Chains A and B, each alone.
Chain A
Amino acid sequence: MKKRLLAAALAATMVAASVTGCAQSGDSKGTGDAASGDTVKIGGLAPLTGNVSVYGIATNNGIKLAVDEINKAGGVLGKKIEYVPYDEKGDAIEAVNAYNKLVQDDKVVALIGDVTSKPTIAVAQKAVKDGLPMITATGTAADITKAGENVFRACFIDPYQGELMAAYAARKLNAKTAAIIYDNGDDYSTGVANAFEAAAKSEGITITNKEAYQSGAMDFKTQLTKIKASNPDVVMIPVYYSDVALIAVQAKDIGLKAKLLGADGWDGVLEKIDKSNQDAVKGCYFCSQYSAESTDPKLQEFLKKYKETYKTDPNMFAVLGYDAMGMMAAAINKAGSTDSDKIVSALKALEYKGLTGNTTFDENRNPVREAVITTISDGKYKFVENFKK
């Protein structure tokens, strides 16, 4: 008796489920799915809240501006782009969940994301299984594009930035000795630090100290005291801006005189240091991928438009976000279809002139172009020069 009741209940549930299932599919016909509808759906992943939200919000804003422009100019394949961004809070698990939602529910044809290296690596592994064309605007860890043939990036990779800064220290700053302080719980930071160390040695720079700290540390005086004792010419600090703010202020506090060097994680550091402490980063050098002082009319127009739209100055992440979406749209147009394989081969052969300069992809699907060296003085970012190893 009991069993029969159970079976009846189960059957009733199943009928109910299939009825609601029908209703749902009937509803969604109106909006249309990505391939056959009147829009081309491109997914986005970015940390819009949380510790690294400065990056995510800027990247997302840049992407949205690109989508607006492309749609105004007629979209791709004669259809409008529908950009579907999700907030992953800077967390790898949230990023993978959001990715699944993009692929299964939203049925996107391509992905722009993620923003920071750790979640991007996690998402790339999933995207390779699905064969989904993916460009990360700003994920710099070398491993990301190694995941597979369909994973591209718009920004420089970690080792490239480390090598570049080592070459810059040796050739332009005449550094003979260097120290490194890095976050050993972070792929980006260790990646740049190791590449800098190796490249510095081959440039003839002696590494006096290589000091690690744990993610989330607030006190760096111990490491900085050790560095100060060996008095290096430069200190490489390949970490993200909130940590840079703390390290630079404490370095000044203990009287460290060396020039501070950094990579593109420094972008946004001035916004995280109060005016009264900004002299701590005075005279530093970091590499980035574009300069707001460039005379390129396209870039100047973007900067103006961004400021009008979002009431804040764009940073490198916004620019890269814009370019990543531009690259994807150009590739879809060139492919002439939303077929994953065709988009991927179009991306491989792409020559794209964007805000960051002329970009092609190398055999590891990393961009090839010049880097910009930036310094800080009087509380402002200043363009120094374009530099190529």
Chain B
Amino acid sequence: MEFLSQVINGLGIGSIYALVALGYSMVYGIVQLINFAHGDIIMVGAYTVFVILVMMNLPLWLAVLGSILFCGVAGVLIERIAYRRLLVHEAPRISLLITAIGVSIFLQNLYQLLFGSDPKSMPKMFAFAPLQFGGVQLTSSTIINISVSVVMMAGLQLMVNKMKIGKAMRATSEDAGAAKLMGINTNTTIAFTFGIGSALAAVGAVLYCNTYPQIKPVMGGLLGLKAFVAAVLGGIGSIPGAMLGGYLLGVAESLTNAYISSNLTDAVVFGILIIVLLVKPTGLLGKNTREKV
């Protein structure tokens, strides 16, 4: 019974990794960029919730909606200001990567300047009595995390596979040049992808604040790295892969904590990254595509 409880604990935190991993995966899928600023978008989302909910004292739904919109816009702006020139001029990938790290450091320091470096406490957001199934207890935050992440993934899958913009995303991802020739505005499509990825990070931020009621400017660092590992584990570029990676990582973390040693949690997480890269670099659900030359 305790084992099952620990697996569920892992799925709870894994859901947050999964939502963040989706953003990494989508952006990588379309422009082959590891957007290291993505973890900090969660921090931006969390602080937006804090500003609206605590500082302005407005209702929760407004805070959630405001955070999602703000992050979406921030994502588009970051793409426009920091990445687009590099993408259009087909700059080497390393330049993009360095820019991403720069954006990440910029965001962390900006928020440290705005809000100070000490942690801020968040109020209770969504809470109801835990559900009991035999000896296993599901807390409100775990139920919300898992269900929201599943709904988000399903929605995203539908969008990518059934909607016009999804088709444009897939086309841009497969061959940006050809997509352009077919009349697809690849710049808009890429900006849209950044926006959606960041909006998903905001959803992750809301879940995070609800589960761990404390935020600080550097919170996105480790969270972002772990979500990145989740994305690689599931197969970067694949939406179901990102979800699977997130859940697996959360469970691995929880079980390591519970049955091996809490000292090894991060070692296991990054050990998984190394093993995946050695054994199956494309990840569990990643497609084995050859580099286009």
Binds A, one of B33-41, B95-103, B118-126: B118-126
Known A221-B9, A254-B130; judge A273-B262 contact (CB<8 A).
no
Assess whether A53 is interfacial by the CB under 8 Å rule.
Answer: yes
CB distance from A265 to the nearest CB of B (A): 15
Residues 133-187 of B contacting A (Cβ, < 8 Å): 137, 139-141
Chain A, interface size category, equals: 20 to 34
Q: Give chain A residues whose Cβ lies under 8 Å from the Cβ of B212.
A: 218-219, 246, 250
Assess whether A274 is interfacial by the CB under 8 Å rule.
Answer: yes
Assess whether A198 is interfacial by the CB under 8 Å rule.
Answer: no
Residue on B nearest A53 in the bound complex, by CB:
B118
CB distance from B114 to the nearest CB of A (A): 14
Assess whether A389 is interfacial by the CB under 8 Å rule.
Answer: no
A49 to B258, CA, bound (A): 35
Binds B, one of A28-36, A148-156, A199-207, A222-230: A222-230
Q: Is the CB of A212 within 8 A of B6?
A: no
Q: Give chain B residues whose Cβ lies under 8 Å from the Cβ of A216.
A: 222
Residues 257-284 of A contacting B (Cβ, < 8 Å): 272-277
Assess whether B57 is interfacial by the CB under 8 Å rule.
Answer: no
Assess whether B188 is interfacial by the CB under 8 Å rule.
Answer: no
Q: Is the CB of B9 within 8 A of A277?
A: no
A127 to B31, CA, bound (A): 56
Known A219-B13, A242-B119, A275-B123; judge A225-B258 contact (CB<8 A).
yes
Assess whether B271 is interfacial by the CB under 8 Å rule.
Answer: no
A184 to B222, CA, bound (A): 19
Q: Is the CB of A222 within 8 A of B214?
A: no
Assess whether B87 is interfacial by the CB under 8 Å rule.
Answer: no
Q: Is the CB of B117 within 8 A of A51?
A: yes
Assess whether A68 is interfacial by the CB under 8 Å rule.
Answer: no
The residue in A219, A246, A277 that gathers the most chain B C-beta atoms within 10 A of its C-beta is A219
Q: Give chain B residues whose Cβ lies under 8 Å from the Cβ of A225.
A: 2, 5-6, 9, 258
Residues 1-21 of B contacting A (Cβ, < 8 Å): 2, 5-6, 9-10, 12-13
Q: How does the 8 Å CB contact mask read for B257-279 relative to A, with 1 for contact and 0 for none? A: 11001110110000000000000
Assess whether B51 is interfacial by the CB under 8 Å rule.
Answer: no
A261 to B100, CA, bound (A): 44
CB distance from B50 to the nearest CB of A (A): 10
Q: Give chain A residues whose Cβ lies under 8 Å from the Cβ of B2.
A: 225-226, 229
Assess whether B284 is interfacial by the CB under 8 Å rule.
Answer: no
A273 to B261, CA, bound (A): 28
Q: How does the 8 Å CB contact mask read for A244-257 relative to B, with 1 for contact and 0 for none? A: 01100110011100
Assess whether B254 is interfacial by the CB under 8 Å rule.
Answer: yes
Q: Give chain B residues whose Cβ lies under 8 Å from the Cβ of A49.
A: 116-117
Q: Is the CB of A214 within 8 A of B263?
A: yes
Assess whether B54 is interfacial by the CB under 8 Å rule.
Answer: yes
Q: Give chain A residues whose Cβ lies under 8 Å from the Cβ of B54.
A: 274
Could you say which of A51, A214, A242, A250 contacts B262, with CB atoms under 8 Å apart? A214
CB distance from B111 to the nearest CB of A (A): 14
Could you say which of B13, B139, B213, B258 contacts A226, with CB atoms under 8 Å apart? B258
User: B residues touching A (Cβ–Cβ < 8 Å)?
Assistant: 2, 5-6, 9-10, 12-13, 54, 116-119, 121-124, 130, 137, 139-141, 211-214, 216, 219, 222, 253-254, 257-258, 261-263, 265-266
24 contacts between A and B (CB under 8 A): A51-B216, A184-B262, A184-B263, A212-B261, A212-B262, A212-B263, A213-B257, A214-B266, A216-B222, A219-B211, A221-B139, A222-B6, A222-B9, A222-B10, A225-B2, A225-B6, A225-B9, A226-B258, A229-B2, A246-B214, A249-B213, A254-B130, A272-B121, A274-B123
User: A residues touching B (Cβ–Cβ < 8 Å)?
Assistant: 49-51, 53-54, 184, 211-214, 216-219, 221-223, 225-226, 229, 242, 245-246, 249-250, 253-255, 272-277
